[in-house]
Amino acid sequence: MVEQEGFRRYVAHIILWIGIAIVAFPVYIAIVASTQDNALIANGQMSLLPGGHFFEVYYQTIFVGTSGSTREPVYNMMLNSLVMALLIAVGKIAISIISAYGIVYFRFPFRMPIFWIIFITLMLPVEVRIYPTYKIVADLHMLDSYAGLALPLIASATATLLFRQFFMTVPDELLEASRIDGAGPLRFFWDTLLPLSRTNMAALFVILFILGWNQYLWPLLITTRDDMQTIQVGIRKMITTTDALTEWPVVMATAVLAMLPPVFVVVAMQKLFVRGLVETEK
């Protein structure tokens, strides 16, 4: 484009690498710490190079857990997080796509009020309705259950808006054509609309999976049993042990394991991730 000064590009490369180093440094430290001996770390003697305890630390973390506090193996926490994330992502997409379909392709009394009722939930994040929601979930006997973890978070104004927007761009001819073929509303939805929405659903899934996996405040409130806690809640409990010394290598290994699935999703499905992120913010 303009003047291609080699020097300026050189500077750009350096600044970007510094940025990458700053962004990556905390994670590097976590990985290094997860391979070292706890006594060294507790003394403030931690080395900046990987140690030799990788296998034993990760084995203990995944299958045993911390020896002091909760003793819950991290594989179980990851399983809980996975179930919750999948329920939230799939649930949000499922109920949003059908409600958007109803709102766009039908005309019925209270159509617009219903749309607005869904839309306004954008302004009611879980943080502003913590205790009353907790009380309802408790009254429904859903504490310490997957339903309690996922259901209150499963409505999605954003996803509904997104699908509504997308359906509006689908040409009317498609509906006419499938009507001529004798297809009813459910057939049209299943055979025509759903395949067309595949990319949108995939992009949304990537974002919602990360969102679900990273939930913290809600699972913290409604899980009391150790075997129901998610990895985000579990890691917090590991560093609150007042009776024992915090086992930092295990904590750091848990942090690495907590980051692994969502970071993998972002890196492996970068195109879908970027698309989903930009679209859900519109």
CB 241 within 8 A of CB 52: no
**What is the nearest approach in angstroms of other proteins to the Cβ of residue 52?**
19
Nearer to other proteins, 55 or 108 (CB): 108
68 or 185: CB nearest other proteins: 185
Q: How far is residue 30's CA from residue 187's CA, in Å, rounded to a whole number?
A: 51
- Minimum distance between the CB of residue 128 and other proteins, rounded to whole angstroms? 4
Q: How far is CA 211 from the centre of its chain?
A: 3
Nearer residue to other proteins within complex by CB, 55 or 131 = 131
Q: Which is nearer to other proteins, 187 or 225 (CB)?
A: 187
Do 130 and 221 contact (CB within 8 A), yes or no? yes
Least spacing, CB of residue 272 vs other proteins, in Å: 13
Residue 73 or 251 having the CB closest to other proteins: 251
Cβ 179 vs Cβ 189: under 8 Å: no
Distance CA 14, CA 10 (A): 6
Instruction: Give the nearest distance from C-beta 73 to other proteins in angstroms.
Output: 18
Least distance (Å) between residue 54 CB and other proteins = 18
Rounded to whole angstroms, the Cα distance separating 49 from 154 reads 43
Asked if residue 34 lies in contact with residue 249, where contact means CB atoms within 8 angstroms, the answer is: yes
Exposure on the CB side of residue 222, measured as CA atoms within 13 A? 30
